[in-house]
A and B are shown apart, each in its own frame.
Chain A
Amino acid sequence: KAGVTQTPRYLIKTRGQQVTLSCSPISGHRSVSWYQQTPGQGLQFLFEYFSETQRNKGNFPGRFSGRQFSNSRSEMNVSTLELGDSALYLCASSLEGWEKLFFGSGTQLSVL
């Protein structure tokens, strides 16, 4: 069974631009969640989607948005990038969203 796939692996953007990150969950998993990790910090919860509906949202500004498609694949979008958005963005999938998460390798975003 293929694991969680995130693309791209690395991204370099400049302030003010927008970016879209993609995540393909494990087959059969209906829950996809997104986390941000900055150096020395834990994983900060962004949002979670279950069967195409956003079920939970973290404390991030509206510049951060996401969606989930009918095949459970998910995208995350960040508009008007700021320097502080530089981080590792991790996607995770699970069957129902409360049990163990399976993480992708992440997208390392650098904002210059």
Chain B
Amino acid sequence: DQQVKQNSPSLSVQEGRISILNCDYTNSMFDYFLWYKKYPAEGPTFLISISSIKDKNEDGRFTVFLNKSAKHLSLHIVPSQPGDSAVYFCAASGGVTNAGKSTFGDGTTLTVKP
């Protein structure tokens, strides 16, 4: 049973446009959500996170939206740049009360074309 799903394995956008990456989850106990970016031959790096008490968090060109009722979150990148081309993983954790395990989706490969 995959508790965190990224249904789009790949996404291609033009430089300067918006990239929208989506993620769905099934476990209501998830309390904290994160996005990571991964380049080949490197470990994932943290990008942005959101607590379940919020519905939006912004950091520069990156914004994460959380819809708890739909158990859905999305990552918006505006404007997209070629250097954003990477694999993006959505992850969820139980927060402070259930620490110690993050559940990851399978990833979405983003390609930003110049």
Contacts and interface: CB of A to CB of B under 8 A. Distances in A.
Contacts, number: 73
Given A40-B106, A42-B107, A100-B49, A33 B101 contact: yes
Interface stretch (B13-21, B37-45, B55-63, B78-86): B37-45
Contacts of A33: 100-102
Contacts of B106: 40-42
A101 interface: yes
Nearest to B106: A42
B99 interface: yes
A31 B101 CA distance: 10
B8 interface: no
Contact of A31 (B6, B89, B91, B100): B100
B65 interface: no
Interface size grouping (class) on chain A: 20 to 34
Interface of B: 4, 6, 31-32, 34, 36, 41-46, 49, 89, 91, 93-96, 98-107
Given A58-B101, A98-B32, 14 more contacts: A33-B100, A33-B101, A33-B102, A42-B107, A45-B102, A50-B99, A90-B44, A97-B100, A98-B100, A99-B93, A101-B36, A101-B44, A105-B42, A106-B43
